[in-house]
Structure 1
Amino acid sequence: MGSAVPRAVVLADSDSRWRWAALVARQLAPKHALDARFLASATTPSERQIAEVGIVPDTSRVVTHAELIDDPSLAEAELLVLGTIGGTALALIHSLGMAWEAASRRPVVVTGYVGVVYENVVDGLLLRVGSDIVLANSPHDAKRFREVYRGVGADPYSVVEAGLPFLGGQRHDPAAAGRDRPFTVCFAVQPTVPAGRAARLGLLDKLQRHARRHPDREVLLKLRARAGETATRLERHPYQALFDELPDPPENLKAVHGDMAEVLDRTDLLVTISSTAAMEAIHRGIPTAILTDYGVREAHGNHFFVASGALASFAQLDEGLVPRADHAWAAEHGIGGRDPFAAARARFDQLRDRVTPLPRMRPYYTPGNASDYLETLLGRHGIGLSGRPLPSGSAANPTAMRKLIQRGAGGLYRVGRKRVAPVIRRLAQG
């Protein structure tokens, strides 16, 4: 190694993925120096969001995909954790696999999932083939991940059972409510569920109603990002802006930012639609409600919590319901176990200390079995089939460019139909 202190590199493309990847790196390699690399994108986290995780990297910088490919120090690290979406993971596995083909050593490459896996299971798993370790967050996930890999001929032993790295914190103390603070209800927002402005305003109405009906409670609206910041997924109607528009919110309803773990320290009832914060709360023993008001639907992700004992409507919460999660369900889904990263640490140590070099990373998708799909995915990240960056302004990926243009045209049409046209009609009538 080029340094006396072994290094771990974390690559992240959003606030929540930085949190996941940094905590995974600390679990797998607690004594390693930590280098943070943030992929330049629309969701690159701010300095505040980076600091909020509570892990201070030894080095930190924003990089492009091309800079990563040509960074010689990356191959010298012992561990590389990819905190990215699946398509980005594929592009990195493809390009770095080629770049490191002749290298005498390379880092152990780890991928996984930031939260609960409730959709696009096969899609996401195949995009991560080629990484040395694919972390599964529970026994349930590990079983189905290995079944998928066996079914397509990928290595099922690359799947290693672990857990969500941010599960921890102090256990809930029910006696604290009324003794140290008011009974506190926290609603954890999500960037996309519910998505529409009317639905979000309706949700704020439910929070106001609950706060007025229970004046002895404190009701918190836990926000993901401050004005000007972005979260893992972009919000069309930020809750902060909608909250600021409320004409007369009750005094016991407050919007809060900050680390979710710190907010949970004073929470007695966590309410959400399907946020990963529910897993944190259940792990701590905090009563948790998964809202059914918008349906129990795969599109919302709250179907993941069927049989958890946590499903409830806001009307039931208004009446005083305090749901309790089922212990067997929690255990099967990786909640409440001891040292869930023991197996992952052992696998990392085994791969790091092997005598022969690690084999070349080989994605599932190749020019031989999925040339069109692979070219499109790589092109979205500015990478060609060669593993090298495409020339600036290159039209080498017309399929991806055509889809981008169509998506943009559709957005312009919707803006024109919903916003511009009504204004023109009102002016004409005036």
Structure 2
Amino acid sequence: MPTRTSEAVRVAVLADSDTRWKWGALTARRIAPSTSVELSGFLLRGRATPTPRQLTEVGVRADAMREVTGNEFLRAVEDGSYDVVVLALVGGGVQAMLHGLAALGLPRRPVVVTGYVGVVYEKLADGLLLRHGADVVLANSRHDADRFRAVYEGVGADASAVTEAALPFLGGAPYQPEEGRDTVVFAAQPSVPDSRADRTYLLRRLVEHARLHPRREVLLKLRSKPGEHTTHLEELPYQKLADRLPGGLPSNFRLVYGNMGEVLDRTDLLVTVSSTAALESLHRRIPTAILSDLGVREVLGNHHFLGSGLLTSWDRLDGGHRPVPDAEWLARQGVAADRSYESAFDEARARVAKLLLGDGPGPIAPYYTPSTAPGYLPNILARHHLAPDGVPLPGAAQKAEVTGLRRVVRDAVREAARGAYRHGVQRVAPVIRRMGEL
């Protein structure tokens, strides 16, 4: 890389949703081996590209930010002399960018970092092998680090990239009850559960809890507004279900948005099915409950909390039960309610610093190649307009930057297309599904 007059570490973060942008940007600042970071944000163009409102709510700013395709990002890396690249994407996106970066053939390439935005409760082997090839694969806990290494070693792949860290957005003041405050927060998830019946059940029980405790403030914390997408698709927004709930909503029940940390500042009990918000809550020692009402099932993700002491039901919560977390379970999950969180990123920071020394990192070597996964890898790369060898497919060549009126028109067309897609997901698809069940 060219010699810089500044000691700042130049980091590029590519993210495909609001939550992954938050994870990627905060991770970049925590693992950079310098207190000075030049952060360039790139938002991968797609169904979940965050809106300006979502980016404002996340509250993590970059020195520069723009929306790109995968190939546009690769060209930016080729031209940008970045020290570190953080891939905050789904597994397929990470794999495509790894092969694309390898195909650039840079004389000195950036250190590539990736990981997960929260609890890893499904597609463990698939997601991990798609992330193999990065220089650093971050695990959010000791528990995850052990599982990640076992997957890589189980297929004979190099597991040295697995690096134990923690979720980068844990923080906030430890829980302190306040006289006269009694607030229960349900942290909703876009895709868990996914059926209308199950989501209506959870909403109904939350509303009934508010009616049973009229002096208690009951909040439904939502991730996005109707028409917006986050990390997962949300076909049945709770806002719309709430509008149709018989009997309306009690006065002590509210729907809230905003930064999760700010909501937790006034929370006395956090309830969820399996949201990562539970780990944020536990980090601050806020009473936390994981619901078992719909079963303890892999598809719900609440099986991740086996042994935590947190699994309970609305019946018990209505009666005043407050789960007590198991200390050993907390320690293995990277919750770090003690001061150990301050050093949680030391290993990752040291690894990045070491890779930046001398000639820099070696060649990118993913487990999946055209010879090890010839029936799988080409399709993944093609989704990002890359050939099996990682080079851009015909038609994905560099185009001149669009400016002025053409850019305004292009952006308007893109937003209209996204709106049509979201309408299809949230309105048309459920109708077709119901018709198919007749």
TM-score (ref. length: structure 2): 0.87
Q: Give the unaligned 5+ runs of structure 1.
A: 394-407, 423-430
Deviates more, 1:154-163 or 1:412-421: 412-421
Structure 1: distance between partners of 2:102 and 2:197:
47
Assess if the C-alpha contact under 8 Å between 1:14 and 1:44 holds in 2. yes
* Equivalent residue number for residue 218 of structure 1: 217
* Equivalent residue number for residue 256 of structure 1: 256
* Equivalent residue number for residue 56 of structure 1: 61
**Aligned residue runs from structure 1 range 280-359, under 5 A:** 280-336=280-336, 337-338=340-341, 339-352=343-356, 354-359=357-362
Assess if the C-alpha contact under 8 Å between 2:370 and 2:389 holds in 1. no
SS of the aligned residue for 2:163 comes to strand
* Equivalent residue number for residue 275 of structure 2: 275
SS of the aligned residue for 1:70 comes to helix
- Letter aligned with residue 33 of structure 1: E
**Aligned residue runs from structure 1 range 13-412, under 5 A:** 13-29=16-32, 30-72=35-77, 76-99=81-104, 101=105, 103-174=106-177, 176=178, 179=179, 181-246=180-245, 247-336=247-336, 337-338=340-341, 339-352=343-356, 354-392=357-395
Assess if the C-alpha contact under 8 Å between 1:20 and 1:165 holds in 2. yes
Structure 2: distance between partners of 1:265 and 1:289:
17
Assess if the C-alpha contact under 8 Å between 1:146 and 1:159 holds in 2. yes
Structure 1: distance between partners of 2:196 and 2:256:
20
Structure 1: distance between partners of 2:77 and 2:215:
59
Assess if the C-alpha contact under 8 Å between 1:2 and 1:76 holds in 2. no
Give the 3 Å change call, closer, same or farther, for CA 258–98 of structure 1 in structure 2: same
Q: Give the unaligned 5+ runs of structure 2.
A: 397-423
TM-superposed CA distance for 1:202, in Å, is 1.7
Assess if the C-alpha contact under 8 Å between 2:235 and 2:430 holds in 1. no
Q: Provide the alpha-carbon RMSD of the alignment.
A: 2.1
- Letter aligned with residue 25 of structure 1: A
Structure 2: distance between partners of 1:125 and 1:417:
32
TM-superposed CA distance for 1:72, in Å, is 4.7
Per-residue CA deviation, residues 96-138 of structure 1 (Å, 9 max, x unaligned), is 1111x2x221211101011111222111111111100000111
SS of the aligned residue for 2:203 comes to helix
TM-superposed CA distance for 1:327, in Å, is 1.1
- Letter aligned with residue 55 of structure 1: V
Per-residue CA deviation, residues 364-421 of structure 1 (Å, 9 max, x unaligned), is 111111111111111222221131232359xxxxxxxxxxxxxx9xx99985463499
Assess if the C-alpha contact under 8 Å between 1:33 and 1:58 holds in 2. yes
Deviates more, 1:45-54 or 1:314-323: 45-54
Assess if the C-alpha contact under 8 Å between 1:260 and 1:277 holds in 2. yes
Structure 1: distance between partners of 2:298 and 2:195:
17
SS of the aligned residue for 2:375 comes to helix
Structure 2: distance between partners of 1:226 and 1:320:
31
Question: 2:434 aligned to 409, 418, 421, which one?
Answer: 418
SS of the aligned residue for 1:17 comes to helix
- Letter aligned with residue 9 of structure 2: P
Structure 2: distance between partners of 1:378 and 1:391:
13
Structure 1: distance between partners of 2:429 and 2:49:
28
Structure 2: distance between partners of 1:203 and 1:335:
26
SS of the aligned residue for 1:388 comes to coil
Structure 1: distance between partners of 2:198 and 2:233:
17
Structure 2: distance between partners of 1:324 and 1:43:
36
Structure 2: distance between partners of 1:81 and 1:74:
16
Structure 1: distance between partners of 2:74 and 2:433:
43
Give the 3 Å change call, closer, same or farther, for CA 140–98 of structure 1 in structure 2: same
Structure 2: distance between partners of 1:43 and 1:66:
18
Assess if the C-alpha contact under 8 Å between 2:71 and 2:384 holds in 1. no
Deviates more, 1:382-391 or 1:185-194: 382-391
- Letter aligned with residue 290 of structure 1: I
Structure 2: distance between partners of 1:342 and 1:384:
37
SS of the aligned residue for 2:217 comes to strand
Assess if the C-alpha contact under 8 Å between 1:75 and 1:106 holds in 2. no
TM-superposed CA distance for 1:154, in Å, is 2.2
- Letter aligned with residue 362 of structure 1: A
Q: Could you list the structure 1 runs, at least 4 aligned residues long, displaced by more than 4 angstroms after superposition.
A: 72-75, 411-417
Give the 3 Å change call, closer, same or farther, for CA 54–169 of structure 1 in structure 2: same
SS of the aligned residue for 1:191 comes to coil
Give the total of aligned pairs. Answer: 399
Deviates more, 1:77-86 or 1:199-208: 199-208
SS of the aligned residue for 1:10 comes to strand
Structure 1: distance between partners of 2:436 and 2:315:
37
- Letter aligned with residue 153 of structure 1: G
Deviates more, 1:119-128 or 1:145-154: 145-154
Assess if the C-alpha contact under 8 Å between 1:187 and 1:271 holds in 2. yes
Give the 3 Å change call, closer, same or farther, for CA 316–413 of structure 1 in structure 2: closer
Assess if the C-alpha contact under 8 Å between 1:75 and 1:107 holds in 2. no
Per-residue CA deviation, residues 31-51 of structure 1 (Å, 9 max, x unaligned), is 211100000000011112112
Give the 3 Å change call, closer, same or farther, for CA 421–327 of structure 1 in structure 2: closer
Structure 1: distance between partners of 2:429 and 2:211:
41
TM-score (ref. length: structure 1): 0.88
